């Protein structure tokens, strides 16, 4: 089974393109199930920064074509921004993603949970299950053995840093939080740590807004009341999963008339975006999306880059372990067939000697069984080790074919 990856990320596509191929949990589950038809394995990893399709299939070319077609079906313009990786390169990329090394903010913590969720939602078998489990192990190991996960560890933290940069001091500044999910709460916690005040929490489901507002000591709002409270806010942080804009330029323009020239900072952490890009053109408004945060993040990354080098070494070692395991799959059937043939011969020869063996007591009979089994195991031990070593060096298929031919195993495939 070959490992195939097709995807796009913030390295290759702007947010306005990424948002068109972003998938929610059910869409990701359904797409993985569709791509897994015909005995394949498939996992869809979709976050704010990336949409990636991982497949394990006997026919890598066909799997790649189907993955490209699936993403192009969502948005035809995405095809030039797609990257395509296979086998070791695909696994190495996945391990780097899980370790936070491919994120907008290196070491960010959310991605590990997103990789775990994608694994759980996917249609996996022996290859993708092993790949994702080892990727999660690698991500945890990189965070435990390096300082790559130290602050700021997320886009939410970078958003708070941006707000502080714009206002100089966030003490007493009023925050309107649009979206009561995990990203919104993380942004709120980071803003609170910089002495801002969470004034309002707006959400499509009011119960969720009230629950988070209670923890943040804020006022809960339905989405319809955002415009009404805009004049009282200094910063708007949006992070819903709504399919369209929850706040357009016209609504913000009306609110600006009541603000008496006070500037308004709007940070859009959602993909697809929550805030109309035209808001940026209004006087007194500063709108930033997830891509705009990259400059803020860059100012804090010098120490993280040193830690990232150590994390890269961990990732490379774990990816090499996976490569060796994956390569060995090519020779496992040949090894199993060889051992089965040897055992078949051993048992047949013992049956031929039944007249002689029948004179032995149970202890002596067991000793003969043990000795002959040990002979077979010792004879096959070195060929088994050499075949696995050859597989790791890319010669495994040749060795497997030679063994099948020499021992007449061709008909057992």
* Active centre residues (catalytic): 48
In the numeric block, the tokens 């600006």 are attached to 256
**Overall size of the chain counted in residues:** 413
DSSP 219-287: EEEEGGGHHHHGGG-SEEEE----SS-SB-HHHHHHHHTTSTT--EEEEE--SS-SB-GGGGGSTTEEE
Residues with Cβ within 8 Å of residue 251, at least 6 apart in sequence? 226, 227, 230
Q: Are 46 and 78 in contact (CB under 8 A)?
A: no
Cβ atoms of residues 236 and 163 within 8 Å: no
Q: Regarding beta strands 83-86 and 2-9, do their DSSP bridges make them parallel or antiparallel, or are they unpaired?
A: antiparallel
Contact 194, 186 (CB under 8 A): no
> Residue 152: is the preceding peptide bond cis (ω within 30°)?
yes
Q: Are 322 and 302 in contact (CB under 8 A)?
A: no
Instruction: Tell me the three state secondary structure of residue 2.
Output: strand
Alpha-carbon radius of gyration of the chain: 29
Pairing of strands 285-289, 264-268: parallel
Cα 36 to its chain centre, rounded Å, is 18
Secondary structure string (H, E, C) spanning 137-151:
HHHHHHHHHCCCCCC
Write a three-state SS string for 49-85.
CEEEEEEEECCHHHHHHHHHHHHHHHCHHHHHHCEEE
């Amino acid at each position: 089974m070959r490992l195939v990856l097709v995807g796009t990320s913030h390295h290759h596509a702007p947010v306005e393109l990424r948002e068109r191929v972003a998938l929610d949990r059910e869409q990701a589950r359904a797409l993985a199930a569709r791509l897994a038809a015909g005995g394949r394995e498939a996992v869809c990893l979709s976050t704010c920064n990336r949409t990636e399709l991982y497949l394990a299939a006997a026919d890598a070319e066909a799997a790649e074509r189907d993955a490209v077609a699936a993403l192009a079906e969502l948005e035809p313009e995405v095809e030039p921004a797609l990257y395509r990786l296979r086998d070791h390169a695909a696994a190495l990329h996945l391990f780097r993603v899980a370790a936070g090394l491919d994120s907008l903010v290196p070491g960010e913590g959310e991605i590990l949970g997103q990789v775990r969720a994608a694994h759980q939602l996917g249609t996996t078998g022996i290859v993708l299950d092993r790949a994702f489990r080892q990727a999660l192990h690698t991500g945890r190991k990189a965070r435990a053995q390096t300082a790559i996960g130290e602050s700021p560890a997320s886009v939410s933290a970078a958003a708070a840093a941006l707000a502080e940069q714009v206002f100089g001091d966030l003490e007493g500044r009023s925050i309107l939080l649009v979206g009561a999910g995990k990203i919104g709460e993380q942004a709120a916690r980071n803003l609170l740590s910089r002495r801002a005040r969470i004034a309002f929490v707006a959400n499509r489901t009011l119960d969720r807004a009230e629950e988070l507002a209670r923890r943040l000591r804020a006022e809960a709002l339905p989405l319809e009341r955002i415009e009404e409270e805009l004049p009282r806010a200094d910063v708007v942080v949006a992070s819903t999963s709504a399919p369209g804009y929850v706040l357009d330029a016209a609504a913000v323009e009306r609110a600006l008339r009541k603000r008496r020239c006070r500037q308004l900072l709007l940070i859009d952490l959602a993909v697809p975006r929550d805030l109309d890009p035209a808001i940026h053109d209004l006087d007194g408004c500063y709108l930033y999306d997830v891509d705009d945060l990259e400059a803020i993040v860059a100012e804090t990354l010098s120490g993280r880059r040193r830690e990232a080098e150590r994390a890269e070494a961990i990732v490379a070692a774990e990816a090499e372990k996976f490569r060796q395991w994956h390569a060995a799959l090519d020779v496992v059937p040949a090894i199993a067939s060889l051992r089965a043939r040897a055992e078949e011969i051993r048992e047949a020869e013992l049956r031929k000697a039944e007249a002689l063996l029948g004179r032995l007591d149970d202890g002596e009979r067991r000793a003969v069984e043990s000795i002959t089994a040990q002979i077979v195991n010792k004879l096959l031990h070195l060929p088994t080790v050499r075949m696995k070593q050859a597989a790791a060096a890319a010669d495994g298929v040749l060795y497997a074919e030679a063994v099948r031919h020499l021992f007449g195993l061709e008909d057992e495939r």
